[in-house]
């Protein structure tokens, strides 16, 4: 039987408990063996990350070190330039033949995939898991069909996750507030150790 892996890309600036809840529930509902976190190097459609990629990789490792079902991939740190999903998933297919890869998307990203370079190739060949987080506008089967997702290769999931955003975490750091309940303790310790996200709260509003 082919091993199924969920590919979870994002800025992870920083990784927080909402990301982990999404990963764990997707893993449970999709008969997957692992979730691979792939932090973006230079995201094409949003502001640059506040923390450098090396720090974001370190925070992901800190968050997942006790969870072998959650794996951190440095795929985009090994490639220069802007991070595009089509390039990342093609690289992962080449490096891990025989593994069934499923791209995990949030509802907003799923709606906007037509803005991505190579979206036609992605829609024509890749498998997707689209997660509808509690409290957000859901992405329904009719929406998926209208955008061009193949129902045979697309799984829609409704999940419960805490209403946390990376920008909220960054604001808490900038304001000197506790990160309890927002990020794993090991991530909070690393943020403090590396001196990340300090400064004006207004500088930390971009990104989720």
Q: List the chain domain ranges.
A: 4-162
Task: Please give the residue that has the higher pLDDT: either 33 or 78.
Answer: 33
Residue 159: exposure state from Cβ atoms within 10 A (0-12, 13-18, ≥19): middle
* 26 φ, ψ (degrees, to nearest 5): -65, -40
Task: Please give the residue that has the higher pLDDT: either 131 or 81.
Answer: 131
pLDDT at 45 over 70: no
Q: What pTM was estimated for this model as a whole?
A: 0.92
pLDDT at 206 over 70: no
Q: How confident is the model at residue 159 (pLDDT cuts 50, 70, 90)?
A: very high
pLDDT at 203 over 80: no
Beta pairing class for 70-72 and 100-106: unpaired
Confidence at residue 44, expressed as pLDDT on a 0 to 100 scale: 62
The class of domain 4-162 in CATH terms is alpha beta
Confidence at residue 80, expressed as pLDDT on a 0 to 100 scale: 63
Beta strand segments in 52-190, E: 70-72, 100-106, 127-133, 154-159
Confidence at residue 41, expressed as pLDDT on a 0 to 100 scale: 83
């Amino acid at each position: 039987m082919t091993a199924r892996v969920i590919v979870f890309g994002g800025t992870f600036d920083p990784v927080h408990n909402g990301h982990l809840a999404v990963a764990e529930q997707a893993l449970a509902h999709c008969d997957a063996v692992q979730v691979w976190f792939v932090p973006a190097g230079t995201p094409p459609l949003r502001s640059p990350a506040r923390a450098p990629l090396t720090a974001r990789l370190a925070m992901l490792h800190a968050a997942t070190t006790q969870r072998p079902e959650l794996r951190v991939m440095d795929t985009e740190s090994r490639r220069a330039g802007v991070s595009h999903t089509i390039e990342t998933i093609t690289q992962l297919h080449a490096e891990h033949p025989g593994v069934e890869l499923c791209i995990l998307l949030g509802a907003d990203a799923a709606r906007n995939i037509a803005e991505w370079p190579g979206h036609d190739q992605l829609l024509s060949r890749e498998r997707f898991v689209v997660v509808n987080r509690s409290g957000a506008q859901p992405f329904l089967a009719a929406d998926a069909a209208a955008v061009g997702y193949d129902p045979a290769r697309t799984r829609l999931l409704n999940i419960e996750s805490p209403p946390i955003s990376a920008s909220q975490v960054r604001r808490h750091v900038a304001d000197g507030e506790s990160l309890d309940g927002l990020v794993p303790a090991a991530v909070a310790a690393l943020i403090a150790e590396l001196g990340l996200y300090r400064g004006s709260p207004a500088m930390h509003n971009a990104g989720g």
